């Protein structure tokens, strides 16, 4: 096996151009880990925040660091010889950065509990777009909010990576979904299951949305006080789930003061849950949308695209052929 591999490396906090392509140490596989050749990764907002010095940057203890949570690729080494997932099998999943080296690299090691067979109907590009966003959406919509028939759920930023999965999961379990997005994305979101779409560029959502049981807040107060404006559209005792790190510093106090329930949410790389999502993807009950694809050498442009905030679905980074 090689001693080094090609990767996007981060030497210090900064803008997208801080990322550079270079060689770094080949990952060590220990205990029950898989060694995976990465075909594709994707860019999530947490990657951009971490690169800029926020997010989980303070937990990076050595440089250069490799970012990237999502991966789709091919198994090089299994945890043990009789493991049902063998070398050569196609898999996907997510890895917890910076506890592990990230997926903006040719290879990675990842715990076996975070690895799932790639849906046969998805390309590596499509599969790499799913894990973190889909697991985040599932955790909020299904596990915390317990989406069900008759429930009214407002999903902010419904056209984004997490948002477009949240819309689909909520609709799949019978909730009445109201999504906020720009008007150009309305018909697409309706095709994913949204019953209503509020064009935030022309309409104040609090003027048309009332008595929501749940708000999935993927914005917070980083834009136009979206978070605090959401307090007025939830029924008494309703639930607000806030996701983006640092997006609403007074969240818990504000929610309690409004007589509502609130919680933050942090995603876990749970392979069992991802396996359920994989079956929904393979059956076509849920779709993943890839907005843009960049080669690894253009990782800075991929970060610029995610930071622009107008992505429909996901931005994917192609690492190798596959």
How many Å apart are CA 5 and CA 279, to the nearest integer? 33
CA angle 72, 74, 77 (to 5 degrees): 125
Q: How many helices (H) and strands (E) does the chain have?
A: 10, 15
State the pLDDT at residue 223.
87
- Count of CB atoms situated within 10 Å of the CB of 81: 7
Per-residue pLDDT of the chain (322 residues; tens, 9 = 90+): 679 999 999 999 999 999 999 999 999 999 999 999 999 999 999 999 999 999 999 999 999 999 999 999 999 999 999 999 999 999 999 999 999 999 999 999 999 999 999 999 999 999 999 999 999 999 999 999 999 999 999 999 999 999 999 999 999 999 999 999 999 999 999 999 999 999 999 999 999 999 999 999 999 999 899 999 999 999 999 999 999 989 999 999 999 999 999 999 999 999 999 999 999 999 999 999 999 999 999 999 999 999 998 889 999 999 999 7
CATH number belonging to domain 133-264:
3.40.50.720
Residue ranges of the chain that CATH labels 3.40.50.720: 133-264
How many Å apart are CA 25 and CA 39, to the nearest integer? 18
Tokens of 159: 């056209």
Q: Where are the alpha helices (DSSP H) in the chain?
A: 45-51, 124-128, 131-138, 161-172, 186-192, 205-208, 226-230, 251-257, 271-283, 299-308
CA proximity to 303, closest of 34, 32, 55, 76 = 55
* Sign of torsion over alpha carbons 169, 171, 176, 180: positive
Sequence length of the chain is: 322
Answer yes or no: are the C-beta atoms of 101 and 139 closer than 8 Å.
Answer: no
State the pLDDT at residue 2.
75
User: What homologous superfamily does CATH list for 4-130+288-318?
Assistant: Medium-chain alcohol dehydrogenases, catalytic domain (3.90.180.10)
Answer yes or no: are the C-beta atoms of 305 and 311 closer than 8 Å.
Answer: yes
- Residue 169, Cα to own-chain centre: how many angstroms? 14
Q: What is the CA radius of gyration of the chain?
A: 19
Tokens of 225: 């006080």
Residues whose CB is less than 8 angstroms from the CB of residue 13 and which lie 6 or more positions away in sequence, other chains included:
51, 52, 53, 57
State the pLDDT at residue 293.
98
Residue ranges of the chain that CATH labels 3.90.180.10: 4-130+288-318
State the pLDDT at residue 310.
84
* Sign of torsion over alpha carbons 103, 108, 110, 112: positive
Cross-strand partners of 318: 40, 295
State the pLDDT at residue 309.
83
Answer yes or no: are the C-beta atoms of 37 and 320 closer than 8 Å.
Answer: yes
State the pLDDT at residue 322.
79
């Amino acid at each position: 096996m090689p001693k080094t591999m090609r990767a996007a490396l981060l030497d210090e906090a900064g803008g997208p151009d801080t990322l550079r392509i270079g060689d770094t140490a080949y990952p060590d596989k220990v205990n029950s880990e898989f060694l995976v050749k990465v075909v594709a990764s994707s860019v999530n907002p947490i990657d951009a925040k971490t690169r800029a010095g926020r997010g989980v940057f303070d937990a990076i203890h050595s440089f250069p660091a490799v970012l990237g949570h999502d991966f789709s690729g091919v198994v090089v080494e299994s945890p043990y010889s009789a493991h049902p997932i063998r070398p050569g099998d196609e898999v996907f999943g997510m890895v917890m950065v910076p506890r592990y080296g990230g997926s903006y690299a040719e290879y990675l090691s990842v715990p076996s509990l975070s690895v799932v067979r790639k849906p046969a109907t998805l390309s590596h590009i499509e599969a790499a777009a799913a894990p973190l966003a889909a697991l985040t959406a599932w955790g909020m919509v299904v596990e915390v909010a317990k989406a069900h028939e008759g429930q009214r759920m407002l999903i902010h930023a419904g056209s984004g990576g997490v948002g477009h999965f949240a819309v689909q999961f909520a609709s799949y379990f019978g909730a009445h979904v109201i999504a906020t997005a720009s008007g150009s994305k309305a018909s697409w979101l309706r095709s994913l299951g949204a019953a209503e779409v509020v064009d935030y560029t022309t309409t104040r959502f609090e003027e048309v949305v009332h008595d929501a049981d749940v708000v999935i807040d993927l914005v917070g107060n980083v834009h136009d006080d979206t978070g605090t404006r959401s307090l007025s559209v939830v029924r008494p005792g309703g639930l607000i789930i806030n996701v983006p790190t640092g997006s609403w510093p007074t969240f818990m106090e504000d929610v309690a003061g409004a007589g509502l329930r609130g919680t933050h949410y942090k995603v876990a790389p749970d392979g069992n849950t991802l396996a359920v999502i994989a079956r929904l993807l393979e059956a076509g009950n849920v779709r993943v949308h890839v907005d843009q694809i960049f080669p690894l050498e253009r990782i800075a442009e991929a970060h610029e695209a995610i930071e622009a905030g107008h992505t429909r679905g996901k931005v994917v980074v192609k690492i190798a052929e596959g």
